[in-house]
A and B are shown apart, each in its own frame.
Chain A
Amino acid sequence: MKIESIVENVTINIDGQDVEVPKGINIIEAVKMVGKGKEVPHYCYHPKLTIAGNCRMCMVEMGMPMRDRATGEAVLEEDGTQKIAWMPKPTIGCATNASPGMHILTGSEMVKESRNGVTEFLLINHPLDCPICDQAGECRLQEFSAEHGRGYSRFIEDKNVKPKRTRLGPNVTLDDERCILCSRCVRFSKEVADDDVLGFVDRGTYSTLTCFPGKELSHNYSLNTVDICPVGALTSTDFRFKMRVWFLKRTHSICTESSVGANTEIWSREGKIYRITPRRNDEVNDTWMTDTGRALYKEIESEDRLVHYTIEGVHKASGEAAVAAAELLKSGKIAMVGSAHSSVEEQFFYKAIAERSGAKVSLVSHNGDGDGLLQSEDRTPNLRGALVTGLISELPSENLEALARDINSGAVKTILAVNEDLTELGISKDVLAKAKVIYVGSHANRTSEVANIVLPSLMVFEKDGSFINQSFRIQRFKAAIPGPLGVQPDFTVLEKIAAALAEREGYSDDHRLSMGAHGSDN
């Protein structure tokens, strides 16, 4: 079946080159489609916000094919080509939409002069503090000033003095002197976060960004204003002055806060994470993420992190602990409490372990209130993964009271618990004491404290894998930093357990082959 495109394309001419672009797209986006790094510089325009048109940096020359007013006939040049009627003044690219035959010049003398003038005005009151500015290295004003500015200042008067280090909210600090009044943060708060909290007061060069009286920038998306601030005005209170961005390595990852699966970038250096920012994915999170999702990496250095494989409290090598776990799982009457925080790869092996040990699998739901944006009700990243891998076939329950009854009745003698504290889910410590417990998790809890075998696991920032989000979109994440010394990737340990279980007598050869029962491949 041929699917007709529902987007109508038009041909426009950009710097002498004919380009086919979707009708109605603005000139900034159209120029991006030319590729080759071609860009119309801009500050206030953002693809996911309404057009404000107030920075005037995206000036281009625009012309349309000339037609005779009386007859409507095309007016031709001497060489037979259609004559272009150029607008006498430059126009802003963000608010100019592509239409058939449109001609655009992005590098003419008039355009260069316009950008030069805009840049000079923006720099009049902008402090010359780039060496100590937190935005250095990712500052559009710095980049465009170098590219489009005149290189020296004609301004000999005193610069305006505005408030410095203003607390706008719990996560955002404002340096008003650096603000170029692009209004991206104002529009974001109003249009995306639905919390109209920011605005400008005073006039002209005294215009100042501030919160409305009695309000503060405290919604759970406040740090997106820092991301979209093109200069160093809005800074993350947590990240500011911690590290120069050019020292940081960027790794693609997925937010584990909820089933939305927002695409993220992990910024790290020498095994330490400094910040998490959103990564654009128009199918999932546009260019946004929650503030709470950005803070999840802090659990890495938590004091209750599990870093040793243990059997009955004694440190062991990972292989030894895996073999002991497999032996325990061979004893029968097994229950598994899986996790929707595990990756697809890990769930695949948990499924194999459950099949081979005859374990009944439970998952527990972790639900909260959704915010209608990027924090969904399901506060796990990979429930769909558990379904797709076949680990579960029904949705998780709210607690483990049924499992508690099975333990009490003797129907369950051994529990493999993944990331869950069973004592908070309806199984008291006394009941738990009646069963053998294998605990797999990244952090200690009351279940790991009483577990017979503990298998520490890596956090999402420390391993490769994939999650399946609320829309059944499978997305991969990569290790940004190494895990604790000696802790193996979870699927390596799980595969050893699954392989050891497959060796037991009576297990079908078909299953052994499909699940790699003949040992690990390294």
Chain B
Amino acid sequence: MTIDSVWERMVATIDQLGDSLRWRTLPEKGVALDATAFLDLGFVETKNLKYDPAAFKEAHAAPVEV
């Protein structure tokens, strides 16, 4: 069992990871996942250095233009 094989399974079942993400090729700065499914949850975090809950919610709730 390697982390690569775990990821093969994860991308097959977790929608937010898409098809192409893999642990070994994740960018060093990370990848922002689609959070729209969780926007209604009342997370406890308030505004900090790089996170503003209101702005985050607004940005992710906006309709996606195709």
Contacts and interface: CB of A to CB of B under 8 A. Distances in A.
Partners in one complex: yes
Interface of A: 1, 252, 259-261, 263, 281-286, 288, 344-345, 348-349, 365, 367, 370-378, 383-384, 387-390, 394-395, 464-466, 468-476, 489, 491-492, 495, 514-516, 520-522
Given A288-B49, A370-B45, 16 more contacts: A261-B30, A345-B6, A348-B9, A372-B47, A373-B48, A374-B48, A377-B44, A384-B38, A387-B38, A395-B41, A469-B30, A474-B17, A474-B21, A474-B33, A495-B6, A516-B5
Contacts of A514: 9, 12-13
Contacts of B21: 474
Contact of B6 (A261, A348, A387): A348
Contacts of B48: 260, 370-376, 470
B26 interface: yes
A134 B43 CA distance: 43
A474 B7 CA distance: 13
Interface residues of A, dominant DSSP = loop
Interface string B33-47: 111001001111111
A395 B49 contact: no
A446 to B, nearest CB: 26
A103 to B, nearest CB: 33
A466 B1 contact: no
Nearest to A394: B41
A220 to B, nearest CB: 13
B46 A377 contact: yes
A465 B16 CA distance: 17
A473 B31 contact: yes
B54 interface: no
Contacts of A263: 28-29
Nearest to A471: B51
Contact of B43 (A288, A345, A348, A395): A395
A43 B34 CA distance: 40
A387 B31 CA distance: 16
Contacts of A468: 33
The 9 closest A-B pairs by CB, nearest first: A475-B30, A472-B35, A473-B30, A377-B44, A376-B45, A472-B33, A476-B26, A492-B1, A464-B3
